[in-house]
Amino acid sequence: MFNQTRQNLLTFDNQHEFERMCSDLLNSLGFENVEPMAPLGGPDGGCDIKYFNGGTSSVAFVTLRKDIRTKFFEDLAKKDTSFEEISLFCIVDVTPKQKKEFTVAALEKGSTLAIYDLERIRSLLDSSHKDIRRKYLGIDDDLTTQIRDKLTKLMRFRNSFSITLRDTSFLESMFSNKLPQSVFNLLLDFQINVVSEVPKIGKKLEGFLDRYDNFRGVVKKNESYLVTHIGTIEGCRFRESWIIHFQYCVMRYSGKSPEEIQNEGSFLNYGITWDSAEKIFCTLNENGTLKCYLDPVFKEYEALVTLCPELVLEKLS
């Protein structure tokens, strides 16, 4: 029966990443002081990883070579006799005859032997170590499957699939297309390392999180400036009054006419009239203040709207 984990292991071609994966497996299995000997390359004396097993000094031989018998005995010949346990990590199926031969040879060197061959590594990755499988082999686990499924539903059923939007500013609430906000809030429910390791699209999703967070920072900064600036023009000491004028200015700048805004229902207070709100809008619009502080927000949001379907649809392709 075809198994994707076995297939990905068989085609693994990066020795350093394989050593990192085996180090992570040893850590996850409860071994102590796991130390890759040459994580950036270079000679390691045949000892790829050092670790301790219940106080026992141990070493791991890690290889992608298929001539496993030759490679094992090459590394064994270099072995320091101080290590009481050897672990062999490889991507071939070691036969029972070879396992016996390797065990006897290791014992003659004063060490016990644990063999993590292709099938044993496959079993570990497919059972209790799916996070490592996701990270190194690009195969979905339960969490990344959830992300993919929710993104797909969000994109396909936009009128029905709802996401709770947190800390939304007034400017953000003005946008009728809520997809960027929804994707951002959906991804926030998962750990960053899980998001970044979603096979094929993880790095783009992580980049989207950073980009939207930066966008939200610009929104808050520009919104705060405009509200305060309106206060200096209006002369009212109530900040709530400035915010009402700000809301009106944003609605007008987004293309709505005074009549359309009024027909949506009155949100005026503190003695503000439609005429006074329009007067402040005209002042800020004519001197370029609104263009300076709102255009960057609108343009970046449009870019985020365009980006979202690309993230989701790449998963579907």
Same-domain status, 115 and 153: no
CATH number for position 8: 3.40.1350.10
Confidence of residue 314 (pLDDT cuts 50, 70, 90): very low
206-261 per-position pLDDT tens digit: 999 999 999 999 999 999 999 999 999 987 778 999 999 999 999 999 999 999 99
Q: Are residues 310 and 214 in the same domain?
A: yes
Give the H or E element holding residue 114. Answer: strand 112-116
Same domain, 128 and 157: no
Identify the band that residue 317 occupies on the pLDDT scale cut at 50, 70 and 90: very low
- Do 160 and 248 lie in a common domain? yes
Query: Number of structural domains, the chain?
Result: 2
Q: Are residues 152 and 270 in the same domain?
A: yes
pLDDT in tens, 18-63: 999 999 999 999 999 999 986 555 555 567 899 999 888 999 999 9
Q: Tell which of 74, 102, 137 closes a domain.
A: 137
Last residue of a domain, one of 83, 116, 137: 137
Domain limit, last residue, from 115, 137, 159? 137
Tell me the pLDDT of the chain averaged across its residues: 90
Q: What is the C-alpha to C-alpha distance for residues 170 and 161, in angstroms, rounded to an integer?
A: 22
To 10 degrees, the CA torsion angle through 278, 283, 285, 287?
A: 180
pLDDT tens-digit map of 91-114:
999 999 999 999 999 999 899 999
- Asked whether residue 39 falls in the same domain as residue 90, the answer is yes
Same domain, 160 and 35: no
Per-residue confidence (pLDDT) for residue 55, from 0 to 100: 86
Give the residues across from 62 on adjacent strands: 89
Same domain, 174 and 92: no
What average pLDDT does the segment 137-149 reach?
88
Q: Say what the pLDDT of residue 316 is.
A: 35
Answer yes or no: do 153 and 116 share one domain.
no
Please give the residue range of the domain that contains residue 67.
Answer: 4-137
Residues 115, 21: one domain?
A: yes
Asked if 276 and 176 sit in the same domain, the reply is yes
Can you tell me the distance from the alpha carbon of 242 to that of 248, in angstroms, rounded to the nearest whole number?
10
Clarify whether residues 199 and 299 are in a common domain: yes
Q: Where are the alpha helices (DSSP H) in the chain?
A: 4-10, 15-28, 68-78, 96-108, 118-126, 130-137, 142-156, 170-174, 179-188, 192-196, 202-234, 239-253, 258-263, 274-286, 289-316
Give pLDDT, residue 41: 57
